[in-house]
Amino acid sequence: MRKVPIASLLPGMVVGHNVYNSSGNTLVYRGVVLNKRYIESLKRLGIPALYIDDDSLPDFYIEDVIDEKSRIAAVKLAKNILSGRASTDAPLNKALVAESKVVINDIIEQLLENPSLMVNLTDIRSIDDYLLGHSVNVCVLSLITGVSLGYDKTKLMRLGLGSLMHDIGKTMIPPHILNKPGSLTNDEYSVIKRHSEYGYLILTNENSQIKKLSALIALQHHERYNGEGYPGGAQG
């Protein structure tokens, strides 16, 4: 199986991995033989690439570290969390917080039951859905790290909530800057960088039901060991 850019797809190629949209619907199933109509539809949907079966490579398929149902549920949840915010003062929807805990607990249980923790991030989504898939991947990788460090379930839950919502502050960034296809100006980059602080304000709202440890993930996820990150320039 190899990753092929959308512009290089040819009729007759066989899809090697399912492709979903942010609603959890399957756009293309594994094993489908592509034709011109399929390829044009994928281009219109903004799919950047596909995994294609390749006879010249060993025949293998890595199962995801979490099951397909859980990943779809997590992406749909991320879509609901990252949409429709009006201000940093508005509390998080309590039902979404409760749903997040159920979904994250399910992921934690699967990771704890999987001794090998083989990570597969072959999830392909449209360009518009990138942030959602990214948020779920960050959550899964963070939880794998937490499991390897011996975190208990309480700490894993706080880690999972913060990592799933780490980019929630981007809901406060003007779309024309957030989705700009070209390079950002210095002023635009300064606006983008504020998403970590916005996320912290959203998650520390007194009615958010989110612990401060989770909110700190949103605040500090762009800090760097060498001190060149933001917003605090923390180092060491």
Q: Report the chain's C-alpha Rg in angstroms.
A: 19
Verify that 48 and 73 share a domain, yes or no: no
Residue 226 lies in a domain: no
Identify any residues that bridge with 124 across adjacent strands, giving them in sequence order. Answer: 19
The model scores a pTM over 0.85: no
Verify that 79 and 35 share a domain, yes or no: no
Residue 236 lies in a domain: no
**Among all chains, which residue has been given the structure tokens 């949907």?**
45
Residue 62 lies in a domain: no
What gap in Å lies between CA 224 and CA 56, rounded to an integer?
A: 41
For residue 25, the domain's CATH number is: 3.90.105
Q: Is the pLDDT of residue 13 over 90?
A: yes
Q: Which of 34-48, 64-78, 220-234 has the highest mean pLDDT?
A: 220-234
Verify that 140 and 210 share a domain, yes or no: yes
Verify that 87 and 13 share a domain, yes or no: no
Res 146: pLDDT:
93
Q: What is the pLDDT of residues 71-124, one digit of tens each?
A: 888 988 998 888 867 788 887 888 999 999 999 999 999 998 876 665 555 554
Residue 122 lies in a domain: yes
Verify that 195 and 147 share a domain, yes or no: yes
Q: What is the pLDDT of residues 132-168, one digit of tens each?
A: 788 988 999 999 999 989 999 999 999 999 999 999 9
Domain extent at residue 213 = 68-220
**Among all chains, which residue has been given the structure tokens 């007194």?**
206
Verify that 23 and 110 share a domain, yes or no: no
Of 184 and 123, the one with more pLDDT: 184
